[in-house]
Amino acid sequence: MKDELAIKFLGVGNAQSKGLGTSSCVLEKNNLPILLIDCGPQTLFEYRNCYGENDPPALFITHAHFDHVGGLESWFYHLIPKLNKGHCENMSKLFVPVDLVNTLQRRIADYPNMMAEGGANFWDAFQLIPVSERFWLNNMLFDAFPVRHHEHTTAFGIALQGNFLFTGDTRPIPEVLIRYASRGETIFHDCGLEENPSHTALSDIHREYSPQQWKRMIFYHYGSEEDGKIIEEAGFKVAKVNDRFSFTHSSSASGNANDENQYLSAVS
């Protein structure tokens, strides 16, 4: 019997959106949460509304902008009293791309006197797992890869072969999708209306991607409900808060051998 995997969105908006929540989603396996992707200031509240009071078992961080990591400090404050009482036997795993570890240390963990009582380091509350290119979770092998958001190697996407790819914040990355999403994967992609040096705009989609790529895309990180409707009216799919997208896990999913050639023909 194959496992059912699903991506459930807790938030779909950009840092300035109102009512959409900052972009974050949960990978579920057979209806149970196994991996949270990004943790903005309100993400844990939304997570607990969906899944109860248990903490996320694992988190993957795409980059260190505050709308994607701002919930880590409050999560630490929630966990550390349990740790001090010896009640944190199963610490949540933090999968962090290696290039982001130093940034997170300076941005979150170095804040002086994290606990007024003292005696606790930020990383005491989590199991940090630095990620270079791949990592294992629940017997599944995930890929992590750089995307185009601000400086090189400051933002990353995540993919599970044959199932999904999640870009995080990015400019168009067609060559990356050829490498990590040529087997029919659902592609969850950053998209807004305005052209931007750090994000993908609606006008970029047809120009930068092949039909075989953009027809599998579901867009998030847009600015408002009205923006989402405009993207839909252009013929694309958008994720909305609490939307759930399911797929069946298969490590041997067959790919579309024509994806790369079709893309190269489209841009030549």
Give the CA dihedral 178, 149, 33, 222, nearest 10 degrees.
-100
Q: 83-119: per-residue pLDDT in tens?
A: 777 666 678 999 999 999 999 999 998 876 666 666 7
Q: What is the mean pLDDT of residues 21-49?
A: 97
Query: How many domains, the chain?
Result: 1
Instruction: Say what the pLDDT of residue 18 is.
Output: 82
Q: What is the mean pLDDT of residues 16-44?
A: 95
Whether pTM > 0.75 for this model: the answer is: yes
Q: pLDDT > 90: what percent of the chain?
A: 75
- Residue 172, domain CATH: 3.60.15.10
Q: Which of 161, 180, 182, 160 is nearest to 170 (CA)?
A: 180
Q: 125-168: per-residue pLDDT in tens?
A: 999 999 999 999 999 999 999 999 999 999 999 999 999 999 99
Domain of residue 68, residue span = 4-267
Q: pLDDT > 70: what percent of the chain?
A: 87
DSSP state of 125: G
Q: 212-264: per-residue pLDDT in tens?
A: 999 999 999 999 999 999 999 999 999 999 999 999 765 444 344 444 444 33
